[in-house]
Amino acid sequence: MNVSDFDFDLPEELIALRPARPRDSARLLVVCGPEGRLEDRRVTDLPDLLRAGDILVANDTRVLRAALLGRRASRAGGADVEIEVNLNSRLSPSEWSAFARPGKRLREGDIISFAGALSAIVADKSEAEVRLVFNHSGDELDAAIETAGVMPLPPYIASKRAPDADDASDYQTMFARETGSVAAPTAGLHFTPALLESLAKAGIHRETVTLHVNAGTFLPVKAERVEDHRMHAEYAELSQATTDAINRARAAGGRCIPIGTTALRTLESAAASGELKSFSADTSIFITPGYKFRVADGLMTNFHLPKSTLFMLVSAMMGLDVMKRAYAHAVKERYRFFSYGDACLLLPNG
């Protein structure tokens, strides 16, 4: 298939710059059955849209304040240079790969100083990224980054406004527990304690997996053919206890509904053998139309970018024609798109 097959028109004003308040008041487009029946609802309606015995699976990763502003020390009496650093993937307890601007002003061996006595040496440099070795490690480094950095808003928000105090909570899900992401698993942003209580009363189970989202999730697909795109890798974990809970729920007739594409990709990676098993590894799974889902019986997710790997994923679940019609409906009805936007619930079997 061609990447252009996954294009659609999206008015820029539909890109949400702030989340709905309260979180669960966001709109929810239900896309149901092989024919793709559409229904306009709210996230608060979720307990009525699922069945007792279904199991929701959220991503419990926690977003670091991974956008850092630092200064490169002067060379030979020259001036210091301001450097914007966006962390990407953790390589070791003290090392991160990162994007740096202006990258051309950096050399191997340069030291970048950040707020709060945090600093890093440029250990390696490629055309796209730098490898930074920090002066802290492990939990101490996480704490130092939290002090020095700000929330790493997606580029389509950051290009329109700077991060502020509200983003510290707005861009973190209530499931957040395992530190390691530089982008939020945004479908989880819609959940509140009140909604979880309603879901529990309705007999709907809940479990978590972990996938540490890196900045690759925002990279555009540059290939012309879908088959030529190389997916970025991200670290994911699925515990034995969660594996057992999901298998029990499905064996009893319940449906497994991941909350977000990151949870779905974790589950499908863990079921690559045909059976869901505990999992702890990097995954670069790329789900496109024709893929046979092994675990996910549906999906709750936000609205995604045109020609993105995530729009390809939802098209794999519901069919490209169905999703193009659903997104056209969402545009017409002025749904809000992307990380801080509204959501859809995909139920391919009704």
Out of 2.40.30.200, 2.40.30.110, 2.30.30.230, 2.40.10.240, select the CATH number for domain 67-149.
Answer: 2.40.10.240
Sign of the torsion formed by the C-alpha atoms of 280, 281, 287 and 293: negative
State pTM to two decimals: 0.94
Query: What ranges do the domains of the chain cover?
Result: 3-63+168-347, 67-149
For position 33, what pLDDT does the model report?
96
Query: Residues in the chain with pLDDT < 70?
Result: 76-78
Q: What region does 246 belong to: left with phi over 0, alpha with psi -120 to 50, or beta?
A: alpha
Q: What region does 256 belong to: left with phi over 0, alpha with psi -120 to 50, or beta?
A: beta
- What pLDDT, in 10s, does the model give residues 267-302? 999 999 999 999 999 999 999 999 999 999 999 999
Is the domain defined by 3-63+168-347 classed in CATH 3.40.1780.10? yes
Q: 100 near 84, Cβ under 8 Å? A: yes
What is the Cα–Cα distance from 94 to 129, expressed in whole angstroms?
Answer: 16
- What pLDDT, in 10s, does the model give residues 44-88? 999 999 999 999 999 999 999 999 999 998 776 667 899 999 999
For position 216, what pLDDT does the model report?
77
For position 215, what pLDDT does the model report?
82
DSSP 8-state assignment for residue 224: S
Sign of the torsion formed by the C-alpha atoms of 216, 217, 223 and 228: positive
Question: What's the burial of 243, exposed, middle or buried (CB within 10 Å: 0-12/13-18/19+)?
Answer: buried
